[in-house]
Amino acid sequence: MDLTPYGPPGRRIVEEVLAQLAEDDLEPDARDRALLDTAARLADRMAQLRDLVAEDGERSVSESGIVRLHPGIAEHRNHAVSLAKVCLLYTSPSPRDRTRSRMPSSA
């Protein structure tokens, strides 16, 4: 799987999952690659949002004195929920192997 389009957070996710698959003597199928791509892109976007919020500050005050949270905070939260859902989809049984759990071994 080509890791070129991903930043460090996305590459880390893909590398860890591919290593686990290799340890279990499995190759990623199309479903695996699609879920890994989505997870990697979400992780990269979350890192960008964290940097943006850190640069701009978490809050802004309007001319009328209203304090607002940075919109990147809500977007980061939404991406975190999406990433969790993608991870749950990934760990669910693959249609190619319904009898085997996709959860990484804890050993």
- Residue 106 is predicted with a pLDDT of 47
pLDDT for the residue 107: 45
Question: Can you give the pLDDT at residue 78?
Answer: 97
Query: What is the tens place of the pLDDT at every residue in 28-82?
Result: 888 889 999 999 999 999 999 999 999 999 999 989 999 999 999 999 999 999 9
pLDDT band at 24 (very low <50, low <70, confident <90, very high): confident
For 4, 25, 83, the CA distances from 41, given in Å and listed in that order, are 12, 26, 9
Kindly indicate the confidence band of residue 26, based on its pLDDT and cuts at 50, 70 and 90. Answer: confident
Is the pLDDT at 102 greater than 80? The verdict is no
Residue 83 host element (H or E): helix 71-91
